[in-house]
Amino acid sequence: MKSLILILFFSALLHGQLPQDTPKPKIELKYGSQREGRRTDSDMARWRGHRLGMIIHYGLYSQAGGAWKGVNYAYAAEFIKANAKVPDEEYDQLLKTFNPDRNAPKNWARLAKQMGAKYVVITTKHHEGFCLWPSKYTDFDVESTPYKTDFLGEFVSACNEQGVDVMLYYSILDWRHKSWRYQLKDESDRAEFMKYWEFASSQLEELLERYPSVKGFWFDGTWDSSVKSNGYLTFELEQRLRKINPGLIIGSRLRADETGARHFDANGQLMGDYEQGWERKLPVEPLKNDWECVMTIPENQWGYHAKWTGHVKDSIELIEMASKCTALDGNFVINIGPMGDGSIRSEETRLIQEIGAWITANGDAIHGCGASGLENQNWGWLTRREKADEINAIVFNIPISGRLTIQLRKGETIKSAAIANKKLEVEEDSGGRYLIHLPKELPKTAFVVKVQVNTGNQITAEAAKI
Ligand code: FHN
């Protein structure tokens, strides 16, 4: 009898008849996702088309370079206050020496442009609480330093001049503010935390008023229970900011719903405009939502650390990641951590120049492109501009056979393939499989083969998921 029950159970499992296979009932949420699918407006399309960005971590911690009183702390340099357990009064001494080069804002904007970044995310306030702009809500800001003037404003203007969009990083978590709470254990914690929330909300409104050209916010430090168990606050804050600028782009990291679910609500729907959880990791296939990956050059270092340890990425690795992100329909953002005086370490300058040189030659396979709608092959990544019948085959691994395989879909054919306008031999195999013969002389770095395709109306922008 027992074995009969087991047979019936497994047969039901195989045929999908068990109750757990029925779709989960939708949970009624007031503070969950507010939209189905991707945003379709022009502000979001602009952000999506950028594909390559730069994120800058800069604050008081940049002066310490990962060490305190002669002791080196290997963990993330922007955490030096926590790593070395520095009391507030002692940490405040860094205010007195914060005096970056006056040209730093312009230099950084120029470097971002040179790298081919179409947008920059800059830390306006990291977990340490220091504000890069003169905020009317705190004295723990740039106005209290010898630099005095509005560093952030100067940077935003410099980016505007360079035609590079700006997104503002803002840490909700604040080690410095007296009213910040990690959890709300009682009513007094709640009362204090509500004061903090109003402070942060007012600062964010202040940022929008001061810098109307910014395109969005990049939130961080939202993982503590004080925030995630009060999801309605994140919902209301998002609404409040969108009221000032309806086109704002806000990643998923700000949000929690009333069940405490973060990024995705309890029904699995994305909250915010794009998936913001891709930190130092990339997905393996195109995602249905917009998404962005932020990447450090060394291991887990965002702020300036004088002693990088572990693997340090080189430019071709970062270029491949940027290509992969484009091929998987996402944006790629490379972090730099300027030194306390505002200068950029030589390793980062070199990488920026190398990436920039590659982008100058090949950027049209990245900017404005997205997933090709075809299967990526192990020689590299395929990208395509919306509705275009040209595919970019970005080659990172040259096959020993000297042939690139491309698998088209039914009804599609390849018209031609070329590297830098030099036509290549294209051989048709069976079942939509094509072989592109590479020449003996090849560029010394990753290169793009432009492949003209007859789509036979098979590939629409929607199919290409751009
Ligand atoms: O703790 C921070 C870290 O310092 C850095 O700012 C990164 C950037 O994505 N975000 C946090 C960790 O998730």
**Of the options 3.30.499.10, 1.20.1090.10, 3.20.20.80, 3.90.79.10, the CATH number for the domain spanning 42-67+76-365:** 3.20.20.80
CA–CA–CA angle 71, 75, 79 (5° rounding) = 85
User: pLDDT at position 21, please?
Assistant: 63
Could you give the strand order of the β-sheet that contains 52-56, starting from the edge strand earlier in sequence?
Answer: 249-250, 216-220, 165-171, 119-125, 52-56, 331-336, 291-295, 275-279
Minimal CA–CA distance to 305: which of 337, 351, 342? 337
User: pLDDT at position 466, please?
Assistant: 37
Asked whether this chain's domains 42-67+76-365 and 370-465 adopt the same fold, the reply is no
Token output for 331: 């944006």
Residue from 302, 305, 331, 332 to probe ligand 1 pocket by mutation (most atoms less than 8 Å from CB):
302
* Boundaries of every domain in the chain: 42-67+76-365, 370-465
Q: Is the CB of 220 under 6 A from ligand 1?
A: yes
Atom 10 of ligand 1: nearest residue by CA position = 220
Give the whole-angstrom CA distance, residue 250 versus residue 248. Answer: 6
Residue from 56, 263, 279 to probe ligand 1 pocket by mutation (most atoms less than 8 Å from CB):
279
Q: Is the CB of 128 under 6 A from ligand 1?
A: no
User: pLDDT at position 53, please?
Assistant: 99
User: pLDDT at position 462, please?
Assistant: 45
DSSP conformation class of 223:
-
Q: Is the CB of 294 under 6 A from ligand 1?
A: yes
User: pLDDT at position 455, please?
Assistant: 79
0.85 exceeded by pTM: yes
User: pLDDT at position 14, please?
Assistant: 45
Q: Is the CB of 78 under 6 A from ligand 1?
A: yes
- Dist. CA 279 → ligand 1 center (Å): 8
In CATH, the number for domain 370-465 is 2.60.40.1180
The DSSP bridge pattern shows strands 425-428 and 433-437 to be antiparallel
Token output for 20: 């757990």
**Long-range CB contact pairs, 382-385, < 8 A, 24+:** 382/327, 382/406, 383/323, 383/326, 383/327, 384/459, 384/464, 384/466, 385/466
The DSSP bridge pattern shows strands 380-385 and 425-428 to be unpaired
Give the whole-angstrom CA distance, residue 119 versus residue 121. Answer: 7
Give the whole-angstrom CA distance, residue 58 versus residue 340. Answer: 8
Q: Is the CB of 76 under 6 A from ligand 1?
A: yes
- Contacts of residue 232, Cβ cutoff 8 Å, sequence gap at least 6: 30, 31, 258
Q: Is the CB of 31 under 6 A from ligand 1?
A: no
Which ranges of 22-131 does DSSP label H, i.e. alpha helix? 42-50, 80-83, 88-91, 93-96, 104-115
Atom 1 of ligand 1: nearest residue by CA position = 221
Give average pLDDT by consecutive 10-residue segment, the chain, 466 residues: 49 50 87 96 98 99 98 98 98 98 98 98 99 98 98 99 99 98 98 98 98 98 98 98 98 98 98 98 97 97 97 98 98 98 98 98 98 96 92 98 96 95 96 96 97 73 42
Q: Is the CB of 224 under 6 A from ligand 1?
A: no
User: pLDDT at position 23, please?
Assistant: 76
Q: Locate the ligand 1 atom nearest the alpha carbon of residue 294 and give its number.
A: 9
Atom 5 of ligand 1: nearest residue by CA position = 302
- Dist. CA 82 → ligand 1 center (Å): 14
- Dist. CA 308 → ligand 1 center (Å): 17
User: pLDDT at position 387, please?
Assistant: 77
| 277 within 8 A of 223, measured Cβ to Cβ | no
User: pLDDT at position 457, please?
Assistant: 56
- Dist. CA 253 → ligand 1 center (Å): 11
User: pLDDT at position 16, please?
Assistant: 47
